[in-house]
Structure 1
Amino acid sequence: MEHRIVSREEWLAARKAHLANEKELTRRRDALSAERRALPWVRIEKTYTFEGWDGALSLSDLFAGNSQLIIYHFMFGPGAREGCPSCSFLADHFDGANRHLRHHDVSLVVVSRAPYAEFQNFRHRMGWDFPWVSSANSDFNYDFHVSPSPEEQAAGRYEYNYALHDGQGGEMPGFSVFYRNDAGEIFHTYSTYARGGDLLIGAHNFLDMTPKGRNEVGIMDWVRHHDRYPVKPLGAASFQPELAVSSRCD
């Protein structure tokens, strides 16, 4: 890998110039986050029923005592045998975040359209502990435009990421955010789709600091389920066996 090599002084000057751009991006991101929080809300009037760890659950149940709820729409449709690698890559970040979010008035729950029993083997295989429920018996996925409705499939035109697309469509990823007030009313505050969830992939932020970056041709073309990578990463230096054992996700 060839690159421009300079003196320490030249490197420092370039780094300081780039730091100014990084700080500007941080300020702009803070402003964008404030703008997002100021968006208007929509009251949820419809009743949604989910299948989960306690049998039938309402949307209110998913808040688990908190006033804020983040739902990840995980691509796992009826009849699927495993989740999509990209959704799984993102979901690998959830358990660590959940250890903190649930203590800061936020519940994070994953929702898929497959029946609850159909994704349990995969969840155990991945070693995930986060709440994961099924929306199979409701219109939830259709209403939040992460699964094409029967009507959309019949018409050959479906909505995703705030745009209409031709075709039958399929399960698609996204996040939806809700707020519940003291009166028990629930409001839809925000949804984002496709690359809108990119910032929540911590591994990408690590890669973005490296010389090779994400090192991909297509988006996430290198990503596999975490148990499908080679036992030893290609080109990695050997490391002590005891460290390998302690870092495994069994």
Structure 2
Amino acid sequence: MNEKFTGIVLFIRPHREKDSLVKIFTREFGTKMFFVRGLQSPNHPLKKHLIPLTEHRYWGTINQQGLSFLKEGQTHNLFRSIQSDPFKQAHAAYLSQLVDASIDDNSEDQQLFDIFEAALCSLNEREDARPIQLLLQLKLLRRFGLRLNMNSCVVCGSSQKIEDFSMTHLGVLCHNHLDTDPNRMRLSYKQIKILQLFNEIKLNQLGHVSISDQSYKRIDELIFMIYHEQVGIKLKGESYLNQLYKVADQLKVSKIEGT
């Protein structure tokens, strides 16, 4: 059945000699896999409408089972800043993988689509992509059945003197109960406050934030650990992000030593 719909391209996979499989998160039908004949040809009419991490309006055949098919496309948002910035692109790619993992194929989820679309718009406009990633990572944990207890001690329920996070209990610990988890994360007071804030606010409430590189690294370690150990997923985009920032850190050191 031919339908009109809006979609964000998640990824393209070569298929046979010149054909491709394209996964698109559609607002109307959820994530769908499309077969596009001859897409690897340089002059294919749909090529400009099938760039990963861009948003378009499409007309095509939607099948409930198996592959769907595209006929026409109209560009809606190319997210040019994301496309031209390797760091933003890496963050957006990771988040696209995380969103894809959080939803069953062929399941309509307009709320998640709108969240992802808003995240890409914010990534495109902001200078630093890391706050957007952190906020979305925390929000999407709930779709995997996890809710972090960030407001009160998981042992006694007190909201006073919160000083650390426990992976064992998936929540914060107050001063009096730090010894209940010898392997607690040993986060700083500021890092706890960042997690508490980002766990509560919505994307449209996120203003300017100033977080040190050290705090981002420590919080990243925690969030990725939760996804690895509690959710059971480790995405390819995570490794690429880590490599990208590692190279950036090495370049900073080299520049300082060279001055």
Question: When the two structures are superposed, what TM-score results if normalisation uses the length of structure 2?
Answer: 0.22
Question: When the two structures are superposed, what TM-score results if normalisation uses the length of structure 1?
Answer: 0.23
Query: Which structure dedicates a bigger proportion of its chain to helix?
Result: 2
